Structure 1
Amino acid sequence: MKHGFGIIGAGAIAEVHARAIDTIMDAELVGVYDHDPDKTIAFSTKFRCKAYESAEKLCNDDRIEIVNICTPSGKHLEPALTAINAGKGCVIEKPLEITLERCDRIINAAIERNVMVSGIFPMRFSRVNIELKKAIDEGRFGKLVMGDAYIKWYRSAEYYSDVRWRSLLNTSGGGAVMNQGIHSIDLLRWFMGKVDSVCAFTGLVGHENLEVEDVATATVKFANGAMGVIEASTAVHPGFFRRIEILGTRGSAIIEEEKLIAWNFDEERDSDRIIREKYSGNNQSGGGVSDPKAISDIGHLRQLLDIIQSIDKGLPPPVDAIEAKKAVELVLAIYASASNKRIVYL
């Protein structure tokens, strides 16, 4: 029996979800709802699914088991609660929400209703990132010394003006850090562990008339004693692949998008040569460095497959709501440090 999916929100990221769902044999996209009726109809026509008149009607359809929340970042809570209260599993596009209080309301509702909720972080399901995480867990890096994340992208003025919520603080929660950098921030925390403290600066340098930042830098200290930097921007022309660097006393790895730049350990294994050969080719997608639509749906596909498998086995998803909240917590710490001009301790 196929797992029925519904999508709330019919913007660009919803199409990534729809393509991923359509690729899964055990999944079916039943329908879509957006507050804009024209967008709802256009989306339903394109992906051959039902157009609903309200989020409530979508969530109350017995054919739908899982609801994917693809609304603007600061408008995830309300449709998520509608889905959870209807007893539906919930997959929420990043970020989980834009404040910790709103994240907690989702988490508490899911616990109360005993409903599966997963945050979307598809980079965790990249094959090369899985190899890196495995090497860290095996202790191959020795003591972790530094962990860095660089997200130096370009977004045009039209990117913000054409979709107004992206430029507004109350609907986006932030700019280059919250909406572009959060994938890499989640990945860095997954690799390096809990962040103990952060010191950050943010600014609006390359754009005008935005309520959100287009550049940010942060120095972080991890609970294990390691340190690192996070740099994020949407004002860097022409835009570059996001980069993660994990550096330890016995090994180091550098990844640009899904391309392995460095993979070196003091104790070389036969598998290391295979890993370098397998992941040192060109990136298969544009990575969203200058075009937000130039992203592959393979990461979403892999994560949705994992979610379905978890449901079938009666297990929680690997990125549940509590786990997804952690990246939001770090993003908000970066903003608090920059705003208050002080070190923030988590």
Structure 2
Amino acid sequence: MTDLKAAVIGCGDVSAVHFEAIAKLDGVRLAGVCDTDPGRLAAAVGAFGVPGFSDHASLIAAVRPDAVHITTPHNTHAAIAADCLHRGVNVIVEKPLAHTLEEGRRLVEAAKASDAKLAVCFQNRYNATAQAMHSLLSAGDLGSVVGASATVMWHRDTDYYRSRPWRGTWAGGGGGLMMNQAIHTVDLLQWLVGEVVSLSGNAATRFLGETIEVEDTAEFVAEHANGVRSAFYATLANAVNAPVTLDIVTEKATLSLRGDLTVTYGDGRVEVVPERVVESGGRAYWGVSHELLISDFYSKLSEAGPFWIDAEEAEKSLRIVKEIYRQSYPDAAGKVS
């Protein structure tokens, strides 16, 4: 890998894992940082010894990075990413693709029109367990998928939202639990089982109503393109961040994800695929695979064609979430657009 220049736009919480990943990559160096918050910007400049900028256009003009990592609030993802792609800069953007369907479609079109690549951070697809599930299902030896289910039983409190007020708003986050936490599991469900063609669901605010205007609990039943039905439940009202569950039942085995993956075959055999364990300054619920996704992205910059988790791929989970909102808030167009 040649000497590539990276820059991070947004120096908040999740940027930590991006800085870690960049530091570990051979042939890639951090060349600049950007944040609209003077305190966060100063901290990043001091920590990494690179130039700092208060807007991404100035950063690109001065640093001329080969790739930028966008770790800003949801409602800025599409605009910043589209502008960077227009300037010929490769982009890694945190999930979700955008905070609205309109902005998501805008970014899809911008990516199609650019020679630069775009990746969306659905890093859990790189987990050892998710990779094993995908390989087993793709091989066909387990027979057809019969059904699937998933849960996200996590905890968030008032302080979490007050520390970053945009998270609790439709304008800033584009939604709550489903956009900011559970969308990773939604992505895995549709990636492993098949694209969702219809669903019936509901989202509601069950216990954080005095703090946020978005949902903290949601559920849906989905029909996939292959005729399989899946059931999904998520909430932030749990006492702890419990392991995400994802169960896929096939004709010949059951795949159960609970941190590690347990495969129980019809003949009684049981196999366990352990998840990788890595040391990181990031939060445990972000998973262990940002580094793998980021490394893979940089390794493919010289190849033709889009990155495999691109804007069109990320738009699938955005549409699922927004369909739940459409069914739950029929009189509030701003929540479902």
- Global fold match (TM > 0.5): yes
Which of 291, 309, 313 is matched with 2:303 structurally? 313
**In the alignment, which residue of structure 2 is the partner of 1:32?**
33
SS in structure 2 of the partner of residue 311 of structure 1: coil
Aligned residue identity for 2:17: V
Aligned residue identity for 1:247: V
* 8 Å Cα contact 1:285-1:295 kept in structure 2: no
Structure 1 unaligned spans of 5+: 342-346
Aligned residue identity for 1:27: V
Alpha-carbon distance in 2 for matches of 1:64, 1:55: 11
User: Is 1:265 the equivalent of 2:265?
Assistant: yes
Distance 1:36 1:76, change over 3 A: same
Distance 1:42 1:286, change over 3 A: closer
User: Is 1:248 the equivalent of 2:232?
Assistant: no
User: Is 1:333 the equivalent of 2:316?
Assistant: no
User: Is 1:78 the equivalent of 2:79?
Assistant: yes
**In the alignment, which residue of structure 2 is the partner of 1:209?**
211
Alpha-carbon distance in 2 for matches of 1:22, 1:63: 19
Deviation at residue 300 of structure 1 after TM alignment: 0.8
Aligned residue identity for 1:320: D
Alpha-carbon distance in 1 for matches of 2:298, 2:228: 35
SS in structure 1 of the partner of residue 222 of structure 2: strand
Q: How does 1:233-244 map to 2 (within 5 A)?
A: 233-244=235-246
Distance 1:185 1:296, change over 3 A: closer
Deviation at residue 135 of structure 1 after TM alignment: 0.7
Aligned residue identity for 1:54: D
Alpha-carbon distance in 2 for matches of 1:268, 1:127: 23
Deviates more, 1:320-329 or 1:50-59: 50-59
Deviation at residue 243 of structure 1 after TM alignment: 1.1
**In the alignment, which residue of structure 2 is the partner of 1:344?**
none
Deviation at residue 333 of structure 1 after TM alignment: 1.1
**In the alignment, which residue of structure 2 is the partner of 1:17?**
18
SS in structure 2 of the partner of residue 19 of structure 1: helix
* 8 Å Cα contact 2:120-2:314 kept in structure 1: yes
Distance 1:322 1:267, change over 3 A: farther
Aligned residue identity for 2:304: G
**In the alignment, which residue of structure 2 is the partner of 1:178?**
179
* 8 Å Cα contact 1:96-1:119 kept in structure 2: yes
Aligned residue identity for 2:319: E
SS in structure 1 of the partner of residue 283 of structure 2: coil
Distance 1:137 1:268, change over 3 A: farther
Deviation at residue 265 of structure 1 after TM alignment: 2.8
Distance 1:256 1:129, change over 3 A: same
Distance 1:296 1:236, change over 3 A: closer
Deviation at residue 82 of structure 1 after TM alignment: 2.4
Alpha-carbon distance in 1 for matches of 2:266, 2:246: 20
Aligned residue identity for 1:190: W
SS in structure 1 of the partner of residue 301 of structure 2: helix
Deviates more, 1:1-10 or 1:88-97: 1-10
**In the alignment, which residue of structure 2 is the partner of 1:95?**
96
Alpha-carbon distance in 2 for matches of 1:191, 1:40: 39
The superposition leaves residues 304-323 of structure 1 with CA deviations (integer Å, 9 ceiling, x where unpaired) of 11111211333421201111
* 8 Å Cα contact 2:177-2:236 kept in structure 1: yes
SS in structure 1 of the partner of residue 7 of structure 2: strand
Deviation at residue 26 of structure 1 after TM alignment: 2.4
SS in structure 1 of the partner of residue 143 of structure 2: coil
Alpha-carbon distance in 2 for matches of 1:117, 1:206: 37
**In the alignment, which residue of structure 2 is the partner of 1:165?**
166
* 8 Å Cα contact 1:95-1:178 kept in structure 2: yes
Q: How many residues align?
A: 329
Aligned residue identity for 1:24: L
Deviation at residue 286 of structure 1 after TM alignment: 11
Structure 2 unaligned spans of 5+: 332-337
Aligned residue identity for 1:233: T
* 8 Å Cα contact 1:59-1:82 kept in structure 2: no
Deviation at residue 110 of structure 1 after TM alignment: 2.0
Alpha-carbon distance in 2 for matches of 1:27, 1:59: 16
Fraction of identical pairs, as percent: 27
The superposition leaves residues 89-142 of structure 1 with CA deviations (integer Å, 9 ceiling, x where unpaired) of 011100010222101111212222222111110100011211110111111331
Distance 1:50 1:239, change over 3 A: same
SS in structure 2 of the partner of residue 12 of structure 1: coil
Alpha-carbon distance in 2 for matches of 1:310, 1:316: 9
Q: TM-score, normalised by structure 2?
A: 0.91
User: Is 1:220 the equivalent of 2:222?
Assistant: yes
Aligned residue identity for 2:322: L
Deviation at residue 239 of structure 1 after TM alignment: 2.5
